[in-house]
Every structure is written in C-alpha cells, then in structure tokens.
Amino acid sequence: MTESCDAVIIGGGIIGCAIAYELAKGGRTVACVEKNAVAGSGSTCNSCAIIRTHYSTLNGAALAKSNYPFWEDWPGYLGAEDGEFLASYREVGCCYTCFESNGYGTKLEDIANELDIPYEVWTPAKVRAHLPIMNPGHFHPAKTADDPAFGEQNGEMRYVLFFPKAGYINDPMLATQNLQSAAKRHGATFLMGERVVDVLKGDARVSGVVLESGRRLLAPVVVNAAGPHSYKVNDMAGVTEGMNIRTRALRVEVAHVPSPEGFDFEADGLICSDADIGGYWRPEVGNKILIGSEEPECDPLDWVDPDDYNTEVTDQSRLQALRAA
C-alpha cells in the first residue's frame, strides 16, 4: 500500500507528537509513525520531564522562554475538550549551584538578563530557609562511592541562582497522548506499532519511508523525532556523513527514592541542577525524589544499541542517590 502526505514524522514521543500537532494545526497532512503500541511509551515516559527557561545558549533559552506559556496553559494550548484527562505542569522552581568550575553561573545570568528571564540569587542561608533539608556545602568534584573523600564537605557553596520559571510534568506519557489527541482533532494520522525500515530518496532529497509491514508513505518532508533511534534513522537516510552534530543512544539511570522522613518533598521541594555533585533532582508524585546524573568525569558513559541494552537498575543509580544524600 502506498499513501501520500505532506510530512512523515518518525517517532511518537513528546517531540514527535508536538510536531504532528503543530503541522496538522497549520493545515498539513501528517502521518506519525511509532514503533511502540502507545504514544510516549519509549524514552519519553522514562524522562524526568523537567521544564525550564534557563539554558547555557541564548537560542536555547529564547526557545524555552517562548514555549513556556504553553505548559502554563496546557488545556488552552491543546484546545482540550471539556472533561479531557490531561497531564499537569507543576511549577516548583529550580536552583542552579554556582562555584568556580561553572563560572559561578555568570553565563546563565548574562543570558537571563538579556532575555528578561526571572531569577534570584540565593545565599546559603536563603537556601536553607527555602529548603531546610538541603546542605549548601561544597563537595566538588563528584566522586565515586569508594573514594575515601566521598561525602566530605570541602567548603561552603557561595550562592545559587534560583529560576522560578521551572517545573515538571506529572505524567510525560499522558502529556504525549494529550498532544496526540490534539493532533488527531486536526486530522493527523498515527501509525502505532509500525517500524520504519527504510527512508526513500530521490534527486538528492527524501521522498518518504517504508514500514516493516511493507506500507509506503510518500512525503516531501520526513522528520526524524526517533529519540534514541535517531542515529539509525539518519543512517537509513544516508545523511550521517557531513553532519556537524550526530546522535548516539546513551543509557542514563535515574534513582527514584522516598523523601526524607518528616519532609514533604513533593509539596515543598524544588528542582536542583547541582554540578557540584554531578547530579540533579526534582520532586516526584507520591512524595518521592527523582535523582539524575549530569555525567561527571568520574562516571563512565554507557553508549548502547537502543534495541538491545540492559534495562536493570545498577549501582550507578545508587551512587546518584548517595551523592544527593
């Protein structure tokens, strides 16, 4: 079977479904192909779903700021129907620890000032006032658990930058399905459980895709939103050579731990980007804490085949929790 449309999107995660929605809303005929049976059930549902306005590049921060209002008014952005079950955005703010090795956050401050992104400077005393369980000490550089100096404080954090326009999505898979529903209302087609096996080309440009089922989708535009599989799609398209920026699948663990006893981290916690310990964390539904890594130099990177990798929790997750502790 051969069909035609204006654009084919490979990947039905949060990015693919958002692109499908915007293109369909703009009057294009769109087909979104997703290898899983459910939208947002791949890397999207395993993400920390953090939304923020502070980035280390001017363009990145400008893009984030321009899109932030969509998360603040998620039902309005979607044109949601009455009674539709929607994900929610929880704004809690984000602390960015500042010390010598990250230039005391001056780059973020310069960009925030240029773009009028709100932020505050918090002293260690102010950090403790807002988050009593946080020790604003200095522990850099990040260490492995068997290092004799692990957990030893070697100074006081000078200050942190607090960005109030930051938070997280309570259910990233549901948010993706919200976008899918919105795109369908504008005529987008979703082909679930279908895998792209070839990218069609002709006259030095793409002309469509071939699916594992034998179905062919012809389109002058093919969008690669395949997440961890994006490098495989680029290889199919024959565009890897000459790319300035390439992608690879990196296995990243996130620890999921309960809040310290006597403190409601879901209600009173905040996000922290803490390069001082090589990690970050955010509140999680159920009074939990999600703890991720910022890939410090002492930790090996685990590049994987996204179709064949270890899905079990390892000591890396425990190490991240210990660093946060």
DSSP SS3 for 153? coil
Q: For the segment 156-190, what is each residue's pLDDT rounded down to a tens digit?
A: 888 999 999 999 999 999 999 999 999 999 999 99
Query: What band does 202 get if pLDDT is binned at 50, 70 and 90?
Result: confident
What per-residue confidence (pLDDT) applies to 203? 87
d(CA 146, CA 149): 8
Gyration radius of the chain's alpha carbons: 22
Q: What CATH homologous superfamily does 90-164+252-324 map to?
A: D-Amino Acid Oxidase, subunit A, domain 2 (3.30.9.10)
Contact 259, 288 (CB under 8 A): yes
User: CATH second-level architecture of 2-53+171-237?
Assistant: 3-Layer(bba) Sandwich (3.50)
What per-residue confidence (pLDDT) applies to 199? 97
d(CA 255, CA 58): 31
| Domain spans, the chain | 2-53+171-237, 90-164+252-324
Whole-angstrom CA distances from 127 to 123, 161, 210, 313 are 6, 10, 54, 32
Same fold flag, 2-53+171-237 and 90-164+252-324:
no
